[in-house]
Amino acid sequence: MVNGEGAFPSLALALLGLVRDGARHGYAMYREWNEPNGLGAVWRIKQSRWYALLARLEASGYLTSTVQPQGGRPPRKVFRLTPAGRDAYLQWVRSPVEHGRQFRLEFLAKLHFARKEGPGAVADLIDRQRAVCRGWLEEQQAHMAKASPEQSFLYLVHRYRAGQVAAMLDWLDACAGMPDRNAASV
């Protein structure tokens, strides 16, 4: 389930992006996540939680696994994306974040994986996120306009939030204007 009761955390859905292009074992995915140019730069996860999320994704039918013997070492599980997992991943990676507090981690993860989907996926995600951010900004500006002199602190809170959203929009504009040398070619 992607949304609603029992929904997966965004981190779990992001893990699906690591098997989008083919089967991988858990530790290889964990290493990729933590590479210098990987998502570990913004979203840290302990290895024990990593494997717990993989087990949950498998139990829910988003991943399947096979056990691969390794001679004198313990066998490892190799994970593959199921059709349900692919659908959940694509829905997640193409959707903008709905709350400002999700921007710092979840949006950056979506952008990371959208780059692997190709330049069109990046442009679409940025456009969708800009539209959502513009709505947030309008909401904060409306709150600022309604604040009375007795609510000066509330005004400052909404002004702060408006400033954050304006910075997000500026950053999204800069991202949209950058040539993406690392995006997959479509």
* More confident: 149 or 131: 131
pLDDT tier at 181 (50, 70, 90 boundaries)?
A: low
Amino acid, res. 140: Q
pLDDT for 184: 52
pLDDT, tens digit, for every residue of 73-118?
888 999 999 999 999 999 999 999 999 999 999 999 999 999 999 9
Instruction: State both tokens at 142.
Output: 């409306």
Instruction: State both tokens at 56.
Output: 């949950």
* More confident: 137 or 151: 137
Assigned CATH for 1-94: 1.10.10.10
Instruction: State both tokens at 48.
Output: 């024990």
CB 53 within 8 A of CB 1: no
Kindly state the average pLDDT of the residues 129-134: 98
DSSP 8-state assignment for residue 22: S
Question: How are strands ordered across the β-sheet holding 63-70?
Answer: 24-25, 73-81, 63-70
CA distance linking residue 173 with residue 15, whole number of Å? 27
Residue 64 burial (C-beta neighbours within 10 Å; 0-12, 13-18, 19+): middle
Kindly state the average pLDDT of the residues 126-135: 98
pLDDT, tens digit, for every residue of 17-70?
999 989 999 999 999 999 988 899 988 999 999 999 999 999 999 999 999 888
DSSP 8-state assignment for residue 104: I
CA distance linking residue 44 with residue 34, whole number of Å? 8
Domain ranges of the chain: 1-94, 97-186
CB 63 within 8 A of CB 19: yes
- Which ranges constitute the DSSP H helices of the chain? 10-16, 26-33, 47-59, 83-94, 108-117, 119-146, 152-177
CB 89 within 8 A of CB 21: no
Task: Return the H-helix or E-strand segment holding 5.
Answer: none
Kindly tell me if the per-residue pLDDT of 1 is higher than 50: no
pLDDT for 183: 56
Kindly tell me if the per-residue pLDDT of 5 is higher than 70: no
